[in-house]
Each structure stands twice: as C-alpha cells, then as structure tokens.
Amino acid sequence: MFWNRTPARLLSVVSSVAMAAILVHTPAAADETCQSPYMAKITGEEEFVYVWTLGMDGVGDGSDKVVTVDVRSGSPTFGKVVDVDSVGGRHEAHHGGLTDDRRSFWVAGLDTSQIFIFDIASDPANPKLVKTIDDFVEKSGGVVGPHGAYALPGRVMISGLSNKDKTGRTALVEYTNDGEYIATHWMPTPDNPQGAINAEKADGYGYDARVLPRRNVMLTSSFTGWNNYMRPLGEVVNDKEAMKAFGGTMVLWDFHARKPRQVFEVPGVPLEVRWAWGPDHNYAFTSTALTSAIWLIYEDEEQKWHAEKVADIGDPETLPLPVDISLSADDSTLFVDSFMDGMTRIYDVTDPHKPKLIHEKKIGSQVNMVSQSWDGTRLYYTSSLLANWDKTGEDNEQFLKAYDWDGKALSPRFEIDFLAEGLGRPHLMRFGSRALYTN
C-alpha cells in the first residue's frame, strides 16, 4: 500500500482536497472508524488492540500503561494480553492517537500533562516507549491536560482540556510526528473572539478536534477544566458552582488558517466529534453528557453551518451520562455509550436528522469507550471514564469486551477482566496490524 511507505514530509505537501479524494477511493476492508482521514489505513482485519490504561493503587504495578491485546482470529493467544508497557506513575491516562504514518502511538495524562510516544511499527505486538514529552505546559504557553492526538500530515493536533489556573480555558496544540512543538491555537472567548461568529457565546473549553478536509473545516467540542475532572464526580455534581464550569459550545474552524469561524451553542457538554465519511455528507455527530442528547452539526445547501438536537439518549432525567460514540464507515449506524447505566444504544442514522433506536444492550455496570471495525462487524468496549469518576465497590468493573455485530444484535466475542489481570482501568483503544508495515 503506497501510504504505508510514504514519508511524512511527502504527505505534508499533499493538499487536503487531494488527500480526501485519495482516501475516498482507497479500499479499506477493516481498520477502525472515526479516525483521521490523513491516516494510513489497515487493509485487512485488525490484529492488535492497544489499550491506554490508567493505573490503580494496589493493582499490579499501579502505573499507567499500554496494554496490547491479540485479536487475530485463530491465533492461540486470541483475546489475550500479549504485552504490557508501563510508563511509571499515574498520570490520569485518558486519550491519545496515532500519527498519520501510523508508526507512533501518542498517549497522554490529563493530570501531569505528560505525553508518551510509543513505536508500534518496529514490532506491532510489542510497542516500545521511545519519547516522553514533559514540557507540554511550558511549550504550549500554559495548556494543561493534553487530550487526544489527531493525525495531520506530518504532525499531530492535541486538544487541551485546561490551563495553568485549572479553570478550563484551553487551546489546540500542534507537534511534529517527532514530538517537536509547533504552535498553540487558543479557543475563542468573548474577550478574544478571533473573528468567530457568535463568539459572545464562546466559553473557551475544549475536548475533541476533528477535520473534514474537503470542506476545509475543523470542529471542536468542550468539556471542563482540571478543577472538575480531577475531583470525585459526586462532589462535582453536588457543587452548583462546579456544575457551571462545563462547556456548552462547539467551534467550527477554518482548518487551513487555524482560525475559529463560528461558535455553536450545544448545551450540556458535547464530547466526541464524529464526521460522516460519505463524499456528499457534510455533517458530524456529537453527544452531550449532561443533557443526554445526540446533536447534528451540518452544512446546508447555502453552505451555512448549523447545530441541531436530533434525538434524546435514554431518559435525560436519570442522567445516563453519554460518553463515547462511533459512526459506521457507511454513515448508517451510530453507536452511543452511556456511562452511568452501562448501556450501548445503536441508532439508524441513514437520515441524520432523525436517528432511530434499533438496538440496545447493557455492556456492564459502567461503560465508556467504543471502537468499531471499518467493516462494521466487530465492536470493542472499555469501562473507565476517570479515576475519580468511575464507580466503586462491585460496580467498579474494569474490562475490555469484544462483540460481533450482525446488524441486528451484539453477540459476545471475548472479554478481559483488567482487575483480575492486575492491569487497572482501561480507557482508549486503537488498532494495529503487522501487514501495515510489510506491504
């Protein structure tokens, strides 16, 4: 496959429009949905799942770690942990991502703001920590809580969650694939609108960042600052002032210029951003954690952008707390996880303005992340949200569970008890394959 051997410096000169056109016409039989369109794609079934895992006091070595699971059908170690790489200490392991050439896995800590870069290309079954970035706050100009790493040509975009005063105003931060700082782009606020429409409603919070190259737009969402996400959830929910310090906006950016264009009011903490893949599908989904709704951000025929609430998720009055979502590669199916009730709900979104619930299943006492294979037949779920937000006692289940999906129901494939294995709290998942580096 051409991209698998193309150096990042060459990819960086390819225009966004050209890149998007190539991606639309490149076959991909598997891989994970909802990833950057600039990334090299796995052309066969995923072989490994890398799980960024938060350490727990008294469980194994207690450290955050990348856990590698063999998911090769027919393998003697199918559904088993085949490698564990600890980074030392607990950093509030949360999100991360792969570089465009898919040779590196970047993972971060929301508490210490350290970023760990793993080589997954030399031996995909045995990732190796090759670099630690410990000056993120200094280099970025005061951003705290690096959250995710989104692949761009030759570089990664990291969305922050907070700042040095820990209240929440934050920014997007760019690095080269080699881990060298490039630039910081602050979220718009009423005091610093940066030319954005409706900027008087901006709150300055951040969470996810995703790009639709052919429309030259980037969409960001919003969460809360260090002062909230490092506190026990019960304390936060019962603190009226703390509950005011959550995001309720999304920002549409001019991607090439890295300038905010428009601020949308999306009440209730919009989290994951999932762009549609279809060449004429100019829209994205998100879910709101505190108001339990699915929102659609879309471009109309006059090339104007809008945000619209299109469905409720469960009973908003019971605060199911929607967290992760996954959109199928054909844009027809949306998987929505809610943390408090441990449910995954599956929607037909063939008409994105009118999602229809077609299936629901309880995954566990709590559930957070969901990763879906490109062919739509396999789903992977993990349990942990945040160290101080996870449930306690018997409800503190910590797992990786895999399911088959036949378009009507989920059926179990395998599961790993991360507490019994002495691993900790599993969170983010990414896919890997040896074939990616040998074609």
Q: What is the pLDDT of residues 297-326, one digit of tens each?
A: 999 999 999 999 999 999 999 999 999 999
- Residue of 198, 9, 227, 221 lying closest to 111 (CA atoms): 227
**Given the structure tokens 């895992």, which residue do they identify?**
53
The matching CATH number, chosen from 3.50.50.60, 3.40.220.10, 1.25.40.20, 2.130.10.10, for 2-437 is: 2.130.10.10
Q: What is the pLDDT of residues 10-65, one digit of tens each?
A: 333 343 333 443 344 344 455 899 999 999 888 789 999 999 999 999 999 999 99
Contacts with 277 (C-beta within 8 Å, 6 or more apart), sequence order: 33, 327, 329, 330, 331
**Given the structure tokens 């310090």, which residue do they identify?**
245
Q: What is the pLDDT of residues 353-408, one digit of tens each?
A: 999 999 999 999 999 999 999 999 999 999 999 999 999 999 999 999 999 999 99
Contacts with 195 (C-beta within 8 Å, 6 or more apart), sequence order: 259, 260, 261
CB count in 10 Å sphere of residue 59: 17
Could you tell me if residue 154 is left (phi over 0), alpha (psi between -120 and 50 degrees) or otherwise beta?
left
Q: Is the pTM of this model over 0.85?
A: yes
Q: How far apart are CA 127 and CA 285, in angstroms?
A: 32
Q: What is the mean pLDDT of the chain?
A: 93
Helix H or strand E segment including 243? helix 240-243
Strands (E) located in 200-258 = 209-212, 217-220, 249-254
